[in-house]
Amino acid sequence: MRRSDLVSELELAKDKKQQGGRANAIFWILLLNFGLYVADHLLQIRQIKALYLYHAFPSWYEFVTSTFCHANWNHLSSNLFFVYIFGKLVEEEEGNFALWMSYILTGAGANLISWLVLPTSSVSLGASGAVFGLFTISVLVKMSWDWRKILEVLILGQFVVDKVMEAARATTITGAALQVNNIAHVSGALIGAALVFVINRIPLSSNDDNPKASKDNKDKRS
């Protein structure tokens, strides 16, 4: 092996190691959900309950913070499983920033619609609006005429019909009872579809001046 080839191989290995060392966005989202659950239910820090979405007199931040809070362990574990599955797909396709924006916008948007529709006595919490949003986004960004992509979409679709509708829950507390907030499920999915539609309508003019980016996008479309 020539010296130049050896240097290239070492630099490539170094780049891969550095990339692998960075924590992904999905890791921080899962950690934040789990950390708030521990603070809320195990350490019983009262201030955490101020992060729930109280429909009577909501603060603006509650529409976001409540998507990281959960009512019990089953609620947390089922949601985080699907956040990991679909969030990882979104992050692999679109990147870290896109995953954060997708989670926050679909979760907060689902909470906003729930607040407009549900009784003022309700209290909402849970990541399920974001779960359904991430599911929709992960499916739509993979849609193409490539048979492998079509197969992935079909598998994901079957999975969501059989599993997500059974386990993913956005909890609403009405009185003393815990209820499944199906409005958040549907809203999160619709907002996810709207996000993909809007983003796809944005012209990528900057790629015209960047041959490498244009080539990368061309390869991705093929």
Tokens standing for 16? 């891969």
Say how far apart CA 95 and CA 112 lie, in whole Å: 26
Phi, psi of 168 (to 5 degrees): -70, 125
Q: Is 55 a catalytic residue?
A: no
- Residue 128 appears among annotated catalytic residues: yes
Residue 173 host element (H or E): strand 171-174
Contact 96, 88 (CB under 8 A): no
| Contacting residues for 58 by C-beta, under 8 A, at least 6 apart | 115
Catalytic residue among 128, 205, 214, 222: 128
Confirm if 80 and 134 have CB atoms less than 8 A apart: no
Active-site residue identified among 55, 70, 185, 187 = 185
H-only helix segments in the chain: 3-21, 25-37, 62-65, 73-94, 96-117, 128-140, 147-159, 165-167, 182-201, 211-221
Written as one string, the DSSP assignment of 134-147 is: HHHHHHHTT-SS-H
Q: Which residues are designated catalytic?
A: 128, 185
